[in-house]
Chain A
Amino acid sequence: MSDKEKEKKQGTNISRRSFLKGVGTGTVAATVAPAILVGDSETAEAQTDGAASTAKIQLNINEKLYEIEVEARTTLLTVLRDGIDTGGNSVDLTGAKLICDRGECGGCTVLADGKAVYACMMLAMDAQSKQITTVEGIANGDDLHPVQEAFIQHDAMMCGFCTPGFIVSSVALLNENQKPTIAEIKDSLSGNTCRCGTYPFIFDAVETASEKM
């Protein structure tokens, strides 16, 4: 059956009150009426067509230059995790995690010119002029950063999925405030979420790191 026939079917034989028409999940509108118009195939098509246009950009990540082709909608996080540069090499910086996908959990925290940012909320194109540092770029070769050493010493991790985000946020904090109080630590790390419940040892680790820096 063609889409036209489907439209027809929807328009004539089937009452909108008894049927839901669904095209995808992206644009669902909540309503109290029993009939819910779910999405619109024309819009979806327009979106996908628009997505095809790309641009070549340069990114400075962990002091290395990457030339990479991105769509307007491509986030910095997508480039880090899934990006392939124009030479065909995978960027493969998977330390930053996509957890909430909307700037709520801090799992994707990276440094942009030394400041902590959520890589899921930054478009790749907007990262062009910035120095990006991911968790992979925090250590100096094999020499761990004091924050990293303290996290290991205090067992400030369990499953470890949130750990890269906490490491980067902690480094950002100590770059600005070398002797934070416990309240300042809580405040600075409040944008990061851990589900295993490692917070108490994270606070200890940041305090230890601040003593060593």
Chain B
Amino acid sequence: MASWGEASQSRLIGKRIARLSGKEKVTGKAKYTFDINRPGMLYGRILRSEVAHANVTDLDLTRAEELPGVKAIIPLIEVGRKIRYQGQEIAAVAAETDDIAKDALRLIYVELEELPFVVTEADAMAEGAPQIRDDWKANQSNPGKNEDGDVEAGFAEAAVTVEATYHTPVQTHVCLETHGNVVEWTDEQNLTVWASTQAVFGVRNDLARNLQLPANQVRVITEHMGGGFGSKFSAGTEGLAAARLSRMAGRPVKLMLTRKAEHLVAGNRPSMTQHVKAGATRDGRLIAYDMRGYGTGGTGGGAGFTGPYVYHVPNRRTERFNVAVNAGSQRAMRAPGHPQGAFAMDSLIDELAEKLGMNPLEFRRINDSSEVRQAQYTLGAQEIGWHRRNSVPGSGTGVKKRGMGVGSGQWGGGGGRGTQARITINPDGTVEAVTGTQDIGTGIRTAIAIIVAEELGLSPTDISVKIGDSGPGLPSGGSGGSQTTASVAPVIKTAAAAAKQKLFEHVAPLLQAPVDDLRVGAGTIYVASDRTKTVTWRQATGLLGVESISEGGNWNPELRQGGVAGTQFAEVEVDTQTGHVEVLKIVAVQDCGLAINRLTTESQINGGVIMGLGQTLLEERIMDPQTGRMLNANLEDYKVPGTFEIPEIKSIVFDTHRKVTGVGEPPCIPTLGAIANAVYNAIGVRIRELPITPDKVLTALAEKKA
């Protein structure tokens, strides 16, 4: 049976190892798509609609085309078609400089016949609202319904019930490197694209299909990329536009979205509103759950969310639907559907526990079937000092009140087939690891080096890892769903093992030992039964003559596992005069399976917590019902966490087994409930609508007093 071996035998796996791209990143030498400058390269820009809903009645590109320095211009919408949201593409231009491209956009003539629009869920569902989809009634999709057990009987058995409405607004991804590409036709049939993507092969296939090119004539390169969070899986309208402009001009084109467009059209996490009623028995068992909820993913669907979540409820009924509004479409965003569902469930659990007069942690223990999380509850409670929490919420004295809360989460992350890799050992001792995955900042490049180095007895820096390029023709899947490590690591491990085996076959005659008696040490190969017999790595590879060893691997499912559990505890301090919530500490206990690199795993947990914190306290896409526009499509008014918001974070890499799994997404899930419950514990008033901004805190406190 394939295995990663005992922890005590690991030289590298599970240790804290600096990422391989570190030096490039701290010296500014790491080249992102945005940094690629090609000889003769033009700068592309896109003209976008400022109105949310309109018919395009005229479009004239002539004057822009005539501007000196403009080399190509194309329409991206036809006259007679509809604009359905602010930011929708109208035309694209490529020019000698970015400033000329900007100027050219101003010279494009567009006539738009304005149509009535809706940009908020409430407006979309209101009586007599403009209908923005022909196929939906009242701007709502057909609800998806589910029922298990006997809900009415469950409520009859309940000793306490809670009825509440929870809401989370639309959150945008805010990738710091905006979506975009640098496109270069090497000839009429061959395209090279530097793409800011989390799926080099996905973008390759996407471009090939749309440009009607054979897939092997499109090469996509993503050496480094500046954040995706689920929004960067395809070439997008901007990628295709860049390819067309480049073909027209006969020169390379760089086309990156503006910060504003990034907010408007590059995806978002859908909103959630859920009306839920739930009941529990006197002894603390969840017994009934009835939920009706909706969200908006823009003009389309995709606004799903979890519920009930984590905790088992035997009798449950759910109904979910999408609401269409004239706004940019949702895309997958870090654990799609989970953080918002977790916020509602964790809040609900707390409310039920209080009605029962039970410690919310005890209530969770009764209803949580995960042994992993049960252990995490104990560890996390110890670490935060759960006994210090207010037994009576809001009972603290003084202007600044402290409180504690807990939240839970779960995720898959077990990986899948579809990765091809090659490990090559060259006669000069160098080692190459090649596969078509990409490093979106999570550290897979370093993880690959660690696995190969462990297998071959080398150092991670000895391994030349070549990823983020479809050129070598070794596909791998997109980096999404926390699947990368669990998909890639088993293939790398088995490929490295196969390459090692081949090298042993060359070494065995020299050491006069059978192949299965050979082992790797640090830079050596030795005979297990007689450790005096040894050769250095260089001596061993020297035996290869002119022939490198090059081996592939396979995705052995025994080496990975899905289904991770997580728990977080928060301590907050709420200023009852200003309404400001300061998170003092988060304890994040995250099931990580076998962490290949403990250091980068901790980074991922920190990052998840911070993104969850942003969603809880700061982030919201604000749409103006009067103009149909997003009011905060920048980084000043759309708040993401900055240095002042960062609490002490205790990231606990909770190793439950020696199988790899993914942790990119799960740590952002429990944070919302933990903070929201801590705010309640501090001030004794529950805020059921995110983000928990000072105005909401002050309003809630005022209502409590009244």
On A, residues with C-beta under 8 Å from B are: 1, 3, 6, 10, 18-28, 30-32, 34-36, 38-39, 41, 44-45, 47-48, 51, 71, 73-74, 78, 81-82, 90, 92-102, 104-105, 107, 134-136, 138-139, 144, 147-148, 151-153, 155, 157-164, 167, 185-187, 189-190, 192-201, 203
Contact = CB atoms under 8 A, between A and B. Distances in A.
B578 to A, nearest CB: 18
A94 B28 contact: yes
Contact of A6 (B109, B174, B629): B109
Contacts of B25: 151, 157, 160, 163-164
B607 to A, nearest CB: 3
B227 A196 contact: yes
Interface string B99-111: 1101101111111
B23 A152 contact: yes
Contact of A20 (B54, B102, B108, B440): B54
A51 B103 contact: yes
B297 interface: no
A199 to B, nearest CB: 4
B176 interface: yes
B78 interface: no
A45 B26 CA distance: 42
Most chain A CB inside 10 Å of its own CB: which residue of B111, B229, B626: B111
A83 B562 CA distance: 49
Given A104-B635, A144-B23, A158-B607, A26 B105 contact: yes
Contacts of A100: 259, 634-636
Interface string B635-661: 110001111101011000000000000
A148 B22 CA distance: 9
B99 A167 contact: no
A50 to B, nearest CB: 10
Contacts of B102: 26
Nearest to A101: B259
A198 B602 CA distance: 10
B18 A153 contact: yes
A157 B26 contact: yes
Contact of B37 (A28, A82, A136, A148): A82
A196 B100 CA distance: 33
Given A100-B634, A155-B603, A197 B608 contact: yes
B603 A198 contact: yes
B111 A19 contact: yes
A135 B27 contact: yes
B362 interface: no
A139 to B, nearest CB: 6
Contacts of B19: 152, 155, 157
Interface in B198-245: 224-227, 229
Nearest to A35: B114
Interface stretch (B57-65, B314-322, B497-505): B57-65
Contacts of B174: 195
Interface string B599-625: 110111011111100000000000010
B112 interface: yes
A82 B98 contact: yes
Most chain A CB inside 10 Å of its own CB: which residue of B18, B48, B177: B177
Interface of B: 18-19, 21-32, 34-35, 37, 43, 47-51, 54, 57-58, 60, 63, 67, 97-100, 102-103, 105-114, 174-177, 224-227, 229, 258-259, 440-443, 599-600, 602-604, 606-611, 624, 626-627, 629, 634-636, 640-644, 646, 648-649
A26 B105 CA distance: 8
A201 B643 CA distance: 11
Nearest to B650: A200
Given A24-B106, A97-B34, A152-B22, A144 B27 contact: yes
A90 B224 contact: no
Contact of A19 (B57, B602, B643): B57
Contacts of B648: 200
Given A99-B635, A195-B175, A200 B98 contact: no
Most chain B CB inside 10 Å of its own CB: which residue of A44, A136, A161: A161
Contacts of A44: 103, 106-107
Contact of B441 (A31, A160, A190, A201): A160
B643 A22 contact: no
Given A19-B113, A197-B608, A199-B646, A41 B107 contact: yes
Nearest to A49: B103
A39 B27 CA distance: 42
7 contacts: A81-B35, A97-B226, A152-B22, A161-B177, A164-B25, A195-B229, A200-B648
Contacts of B606: 197-201
Given A90-B37, A100-B634, 20 more contacts: A24-B108, A26-B102, A27-B106, A30-B629, A32-B627, A45-B107, A81-B37, A94-B31, A97-B34, A97-B35, A99-B176, A99-B259, A155-B603, A158-B607, A159-B226, A160-B224, A186-B643, A194-B176, A196-B227, A197-B611
Nearest to B112: A20
